[in-house]
Amino acid sequence: MRSDLSGLRVTIVGLGLIGGSLGLAFRKTGIRRITGVGRREESWKRAVSLQACHVGTTSLEEGVRGANLVILCAPARQILALLSAISPFLEKGAVVTDVGSTKEAIVSALNELPPTVQVMGGHPMAGKELGGLENAEAGLFTGRPFVLCPLKRTSPGTVALIEEIVRRIGALPVIMDAACHDRAVSRISHIPYVTSLALYNLALSGRLAGDPDFSLASSGFRSATRLARSPEEMSLDILLTNSDNIAAGIRRLEEYLHQFASRIEKGDVSWLKDQILRARTALDGEAED
Amino acid sequence: MRSDLSGLRVTIVGLGLIGGSLGLAFRKTGIRRITGVGRREESWKRAVSLQACHVGTTSLEEGVRGANLVILCAPARQILALLSAISPFLEKGAVVTDVGSTKEAIVSALNELPPTVQVMGGHPMAGKELGGLENAEAGLFTGRPFVLCPLKRTSPGTVALIEEIVRRIGALPVIMDAACHDRAVSRISHIPYVTSLALYNLALSGRLAGDPDFSLASSGFRSATRLARSPEEMSLDILLTNSDNIAAGIRRLEEYLHQFASRIEKGDVSWLKDQILRARTALDGEAED
């Protein structure tokens, strides 16, 4: 089934890397009415000139009224605030979704919207080292999982519509419970972010002690700490809206590291070998996924 | 000063990524006699055909006799074993150096060589995700720091010669104390390696619990865990020959993570913001170095 998406009136709130890329990708599907809402006039004007949206505004009310699909593209805590703010302006039957990095808190807030609108949580597993509208591209979602979290109140028609849109932009829709999503991303994204901060902190302690840490750092260090370059607001919002999972994961990591240090001190070759090989086996498994 | 290196008779023991790349780079400097020592006939023959050396052998004795520069390119514990093994065959006045990932233990072992030879520890801060001779390239060292650890017994002439060779292959010689090197690389390389194993371990625990960790993982996770792809033997040797620094660094990391988890649980926004910004400031500083 390929539905005709041309009648959709889509509003994208937030015109950064993800919002801009969605706009570019949507245009390629034949959607003819994309409104971009930016915080500053400059933002939506640039989005229009980059063809990430057809028209733009700085007014949430103006942007949301008349839309039958509203997508919130912002850091998680901003999405929570936006949901309250747009609520009075939503048309009956409009579908509201988002691309926030964490899902439980957002899905709860989506559930508070009037029963006259449809709701769905979303999270495209796609990104880039450099954020911002200027790095947006239509192909950002190609081949990437796009997590969708329907609520109990979400109609089957809404699920089907969003799945169809996700497929049309080249992504792979993955229906998932918000709690399961938040646990998984805590381990594959949020805790790796925290460790990258921790590794920086450690290297800084070396610099303060007069050691040449940063000047010797090569590509391995840059890879291991790449996530520390994530946008600040997005990162802070992740830490604050997925705190239980992240804290629990950090505790596990601590225990593991504690054991690792003891085994190194004991020179426990067979345990260390085993750990090295376990990760390599996982690498092979990952390639299969 | 550009010395004429054409009279050097160089022997490279170990024909992997680094040994092979050194051979390719040396040829470009005009060195006309490079002998490759491989564990298997196949290895040195491939190195000869790739022009990483002029001739080859599987015999350490044959490879080392007659050489006036011997470079050991192997995992750290193998270098320690090789130093004992080559000792009886070294010509008077020969210079022995290495490219091992850790330096204190190797520098101590270099010091045990007969006083008739010259010694110098070395470590090029260059690498690649994919190891092995087939990935060797002459440009691997271009613009990268190449740490040199002279011993008390090392003559000024030997220091100057090795510095000159390092410059000729496009690298930046950095004279450094072995202890300082090992502390610094524990923080910028060895502990990031350990955290990448720890992150895999954590993601594996998610998979075992039925969560979709690996299937959602995107480029951020791959960057954060790239170091887990390091060659097994090299990694194990690093853990075993830099154990004090690595264990001490892990303890520091543990403390930091412990505090991080508490602050997340408390929702301490200003502390978390500060940590995020500290890493970003370090990133800016790193770019300057």
- At B113-123, the pLDDT tens digits run 999 999 999 99
Q: CATH 3.40.50.720 residue ranges in chain A? A: 9-176
Give the model confidence (pLDDT) of A198-241 as tens digits: 999 999 999 889 999 889 998 899 999 999 989 899 999 999 99
B9-176 classified as CATH 3.30.70.260: no
Distance CA B222, CA B211 (A): 18
Phi then psi for residue A120, to 5 deg, are -160, 130
Per-residue pLDDT of chain B (289 residues), as tens digits, is 567 788 899 999 999 999 999 999 999 999 999 999 999 999 999 999 999 999 999 999 999 999 999 999 999 999 999 999 999 999 999 999 999 999 999 999 999 999 999 999 999 999 887 889 999 999 999 999 999 999 999 999 999 999 999 999 999 999 999 999 999 999 999 999 999 999 999 999 998 899 998 899 988 999 999 999 898 999 999 999 999 999 999 999 999 999 999 999 999 999 999 999 988 877 776 644 3
| CA-based nearest residue in chain A for residue B239 | A264
- What is the DSSP code string of A66-112? T-SEEEE-S-HHHHHHHHHHHGGGPPTT-EEEE--S--HHHHHHHTT
**pLDDT grade for A130, boundaries at 50, 70 and 90:** confident
Q: CATH 1.10.3660.10 residue ranges in chain B? A: 181-288
What pTM, to 2 d.p., does this model score? 0.93
**pLDDT grade for A289, boundaries at 50, 70 and 90:** very low
Chain B residues touching residue A251 (CB < 8 angstroms)? 261
Distance CA B122, CA B106 (A): 9
Give the model confidence (pLDDT) of B90-112 as tens digits: 999 999 999 999 999 999 999 99
Residue A288: what pLDDT?
40
CB within 8 Å: B232 and A277 = yes
Which CATH number describes the domain made up of A181-288?
1.10.3660.10
CB within 8 Å: B195 and A257 = yes
Task: Write the Ramachandran bin of A66: left for phi over 0, alpha for psi from -120 to 50, otherwise beta.
Answer: left
- Compare CB distances from A198 to B189, B247, B253 and report the shortest one's residue: B253
A35 and A67 in contact (C-beta within 8 Å)?
yes
> Is pLDDT of A110 > 50?
yes
Distance CA A192, CA B218 (A): 12
> Is pLDDT of A284 > 80?
no
Chain A residues touching residue B185 (CB < 8 angstroms)? 216
Residue B113 is classified by DSSP as S
Mean of pLDDT values over A175-181 = 97
Chain B residues touching residue A216 (CB < 8 angstroms)? 125, 145, 147, 174, 181, 184-185, 188
Interface test with A, best of B186, B195, B277 (most A CBs within 10 A): B195
Strand order in the sheet with B9-13: B55-57, B33-37, B9-13, B69-72, B95-98, B118-124, B145-150, B172-175
Chain B residues touching residue A232 (CB < 8 angstroms)? 273, 276-277, 280
Residue A218: what pLDDT?
86
Q: Which residues pair with A203 in a beta bridge?
A: none
Q: Which two tokens stand for residue B131?
A: 């190891």
Reported ipTM: the value is 0.92
